[in-house]
Structure 1
Amino acid sequence: MDDVDWSGLFHAVGPACDTPRHLAALLGDDAKAFVDGYSHLWSTLRREGKAWPATAPTALLVVELLDNPLLGPDDPSLPDAMLAYLYAVGVAADLGDRAVEIRARVEDRAPELRAWTDDYLSADADGRARMWQDGTGLGELVLDQAALACFDLVPAFLRRTLPHLASERARCRTCAAAAVGSLARHPSASAQRPALLEQLTSMARAADSSYDLATILIAIGHLGGDTRSWLTDPHAGVRGCAALAPDLAGDDTADRVLLGLAQSPSAFGESFGDMAPPLQFQFKPYQDLLTSALLWRRWTATGIATRR
């Protein structure tokens, strides 16, 4: 933690000088400080799907927390929360081919971005709010720079996440699958994806809860895997998560599943009973995902028809 100049970084609620203290509290025995620290962890990540300058160094520490025995020795679910954080980092860092263009813009305007950040850090809360509306676009480019920093670290995050796919705890395996589903979209993981998809598909077939199965199916879909086998599953939530796979666009059965769920969105959430919907929906509500998937598929179908 001491290797990071936190004074030059900011997160969702301001300068990141408080981040080291909050992260250290995750390994302490002060219950209130732990709760504050856990809440703060998420403030370092994103607003509207964006990474912040404090996100990348925080995520580097989170992968260390994954295997730290001092992290909630009496609560084995805390590593699951760290994996959920890495899933969200993977989503924020999912730049794909855009990374080349973003890197060029960031490098071209690096002095301006540093100056904007320095001004932002020295401003009060009202001043910081005004800077997002200053018309220069530099603030958004600073966030692009933060996403790029995460993008560059994704291979390391993926490497540290993969062992948790073999955890003794089913829920930990499921959270690891979700994280892998976002992190392995990185271009550097293209050669790994076939083996990862085979492993995730095996996990899905062995899953003994609808929640775990649905979560793993979303991860398979994120990596371009085939989820057709689950489109007729008796569980509505499982069918919906299988149908969301982007590669099933144009599949009549998948489209019917999504249309049915869109007509009664509450049925999807209610299908999991007392459980919350799968981990991925903590970051984007399932109603939004259903709507965007349907709109994308209709647009794609129209485009295909036009080309024909």
Structure 2
Amino acid sequence: MVDHPDDVEWSRLFHGSGPACDTPRHLSALLGDDATTFVDGYSHLWSTTLRREGRAWPSTAPTALLVAELLDDSLLGADDPTLPDAMLAYLHAIGVAADLGDHAAVTRARVEHHAAELRAWTSDYLAADRDGRARMWQDGTGLGELVLDQAALACFDLVPTLLRRVLPHLASERPRRRACAAAAIGSLARHPSASAQRPALLEQLTSAARATESPHDLATMLIAVGDLGGDTRPWLTAPNAGVRGCAALAPGLSGDATADRVLLDLARSPRAFVDSFGDMAPPLQLQSRPHQDLLVRTPPQGRRR
């Protein structure tokens, strides 16, 4: 596992547009004051370094490490204090991409068994032009998909480091930053290495939720609490429909009559859920599966257990 962004051989990695040599430059632009390069860098982060539905490219794990470095840089957000929130949202997406469930060991064995072939495939891919790269995804070897599994595994291995970097932001003076940190913790702390930490993390998250005034931030925190196995039942009767809905999403409440009734009510009127957050988009966890299906799937079927 790479311990510092300076140790990364970016020329041997690729993202959605090809070789990843440009990623450090794009992310460095997030610390500058040039509007054009800033926009390009922000777009690169979200649209190029992550695959569809938040999955990983080979460059995703070292990019996440670089984002963690930026998160603690005093220049980040000097003119826009919401920028660190966006970096925390990105690290939440990394937690989702790294959530291999019970498949990490099997994936690692397959990757290690084909290590030499994967290096050769990647070298050929980096040397190919755009058309050649497109053809390689359909070469019939399955090595491209295994390279992507290797990328997810790299994110998995990086999670403990990212979790350590995110935790201090749960104590931020900025409410929205606390909520974004909670979302990141909710995905990153699903990692097996965090099992011993989870009770203490849940206590912190639940305490932060109780102290939160914004329905949007509260809903974000409740999804994180539920994802880590915490008890969100006290919020099932909250006056805000969005808060109730996000509390009801907790996997541990599958089969709970009150939670299922909340989700059924939202399924009948999904607009009420969206409108409950005013002019803000729903919590960031709902931008990725399985939570995004709340707005389109009739509960309680399809709950993640």
User: Could you tell me which residue of structure 2 aligns to residue 35 of structure 1?
Assistant: 39
2:217 pairs with 1:212? yes
Which moved further from structure 2: 11-20 or 122-131? Answer: 122-131
Offset of residue 295 of structure 1: 2.3
2:94 pairs with 1:89? yes
Show the 5 A alignment for 1:158-177: 158-177=163-182
Change (3 A) 1:79 1:245: same
Change (3 A) 1:263 1:135: farther
| Structure 1 SS opposite 2:101 | coil
2:138 pairs with 1:133? yes
Runs of 5+ in structure 2 lacking a partner? none
Cα shift readout 1:25-52 (whole Å, capped 9, x = no counterpart): 1111211101100111122122233211
What percent of counterpart residues are identical? 78
Offset of residue 54 of structure 1: 0.5
Equivalent of 1:273, from 260, 264, 278?
A: 278
Offset of residue 118 of structure 1: 1.4
Is the Cα contact below 8 Å between 1:218 and 1:242 reproduced in 2?
Answer: yes
Tell me, in whole angstroms, the C-alpha distance in 1 between the residues paired with 2:137 and 2:299.
30
User: Could you tell me which residue of structure 1 aligns to residue 156 of structure 2?
Assistant: 151
| Structure 2 SS opposite 1:294 | coil
Runs of 5+ in structure 1 lacking a partner? 301-308
Which moved further from structure 2: 232-241 or 281-290? Answer: 281-290
- Equivalent residue letter for 1:13: S
User: Could you tell me which residue of structure 2 aligns to residue 14 of structure 1?
Assistant: 18
User: Could you tell me which residue of structure 1 aligns to residue 65 of structure 2?
Assistant: 60
Change (3 A) 1:39 1:292: farther
Tell me, in whole angstroms, the C-alpha distance in 2 between the residues paired with 1:58 and 1:11.
10
Q: Could you tell me the TM-score, scaled by structure 2's length?
A: 0.93
Which moved further from structure 2: 229-238 or 280-289? Answer: 280-289
- Equivalent residue letter for 1:281: L
Offset of residue 128 of structure 1: 1.8
Tell me, in whole angstroms, the C-alpha distance in 1 between the residues paired with 2:149 and 2:216.
33
Tell me, in whole angstroms, the C-alpha distance in 1 between the residues paired with 2:135 and 2:293.
29
Equivalent of 1:294, from 291, 295, 300?
A: 300
Superposition CA RMSD, Å: 1.7
Which moved further from structure 2: 206-215 or 2-11? Answer: 2-11
Tell me, in whole angstroms, the C-alpha distance in 2 between the residues paired with 1:211 and 1:165.
16
Change (3 A) 1:286 1:269: farther
Which moved further from structure 2: 117-126 or 9-18? Answer: 117-126
Offset of residue 292 of structure 1: 7.8
User: Could you tell me which residue of structure 1 aligns to residue 260 of structure 2?
Assistant: 255
Change (3 A) 1:34 1:206: same
Is the Cα contact below 8 Å between 2:220 and 2:246 reproduced in 1?
Answer: yes
User: Could you tell me which residue of structure 2 aligns to residue 48 of structure 1?
Assistant: 53
Tell me, in whole angstroms, the C-alpha distance in 1 between the residues paired with 2:292 and 2:63.
30
- Equivalent residue letter for 1:32: T
Q: Could you tell me the TM-score, scaled by structure 1's length?
A: 0.93
Is the Cα contact below 8 Å between 1:45 and 1:52 reproduced in 2?
Answer: yes
User: Could you tell me which residue of structure 1 aligns to residue 7 of structure 2?
Assistant: 3
Change (3 A) 1:292 1:157: farther
Which moved further from structure 2: 194-203 or 129-138? Answer: 129-138
Change (3 A) 1:187 1:145: same
